[in-house]
Amino acid sequence: MENVVNRELLDQVIAISVKAGEAILEVYNASGDIAVDSKSDDSPVTAADLAAHKILAPALEQLLDGVPVLSEEGKLPAFDVRGQWNRYWIIDPLDGTKEFIRRNGEFTVNVALIENGEPVLGVVHVPVLDITYAGGKSLGAIKQDAQGEKAIQVRAMQPRLDGKQPIEVVASRSHGAGAVDELLARIEGSLGETGLKNMGSSLKLCLVAEGAADLYPRLAPTCEWDTAAAQAVVEAAGGVVVDAQFALLRYNQKDALLNPFFYVIGDRAYDWKSLLLG
């Protein structure tokens, strides 16, 4: 398979994601309550989810010939079809719909390119903040904001331990609180003080990628389009995303699109496995 991951492609995906974010903001900033419908799985959907999908899907289909798009807001092909895909786009046009409805700003546009189950390019755009996290295999990771663009990377654990600084853990605002509390107690018993940041959407993974947090344990359900883009950014920044058995999180391996529980780890050199599974 030829290598298509390069800076030009990344920049094109960033531009498309920003455009989708602008469509989301048109709905977000409109006066009145946000109209919410329910999908077949009872998850919420708004006009903003659909508007972003209508921008992303056709634009991505034109970027790489013959590469299909799997979207949360699109038709889901049967696994015997998509299981044949070696390369495809996976998108969540509006990740954090509940945060969008609450108007707290913690929602994102997620776009990833998957090759043989691995996220090799990802863009996470935050419309309200006009911040974009992006990265790709062999490209490194970046953050773009009002100050411009800078390279980002995960941070090392040892200087924090040596300086007796809190280990920063990020967790969902809405899911899995009890299990996370138990895990925090175990970390504190071994490493000392921890700090906890609660946040919605794939922003949690991006905090690990930019070195603002050390660990994100996800001990509640997610779907593959929730995580793929930000996983690509985390891994481009030097981190790793593993399942509960510490195997690399991979995509399009089964009929269901639900992820297993997982851990987003900044410092790959630190022995998180012994601490988290011990």
Binding region for substrate: 72, 94-97, 226
Residue of 13, 240, 3 whose CA lies nearest to 133: 13
**Pair 225, 257: CB distance under 8 Å:** yes
Q: Is 15 helix (H, G, I), strand (E, B) or coil?
A: helix
Q: Which residues are documented as binding site?
A: 72, 92, 94-97, 226
**Pair 133, 142: CB distance under 8 Å:** yes
Q: Which residues are documented as binding site for Mg(2+)?
A: 72, 92, 94-95, 226
Give the full edge-to-edge strand order of the sheet including 240-243: 194-199, 167-172, 215-218, 262-265, 240-243
CA atoms within 13 A on the CB side of 101: 13
**Pair 223, 258: CB distance under 8 Å:** yes
In the numeric block, the tokens 């209508």 are attached to: 54
Alpha carbon distance 55, 48 (integer Å): 11
CA atoms within 13 A on the CB side of 212: 13
Alpha carbon distance 98, 270 (integer Å): 34
Structure tokens, 21: 């974010």
Sign of CA dihedral 241, 237, 90, 101: positive
Alpha carbon distance 199, 196 (integer Å): 10
CA atoms within 13 A on the CB side of 202: 35
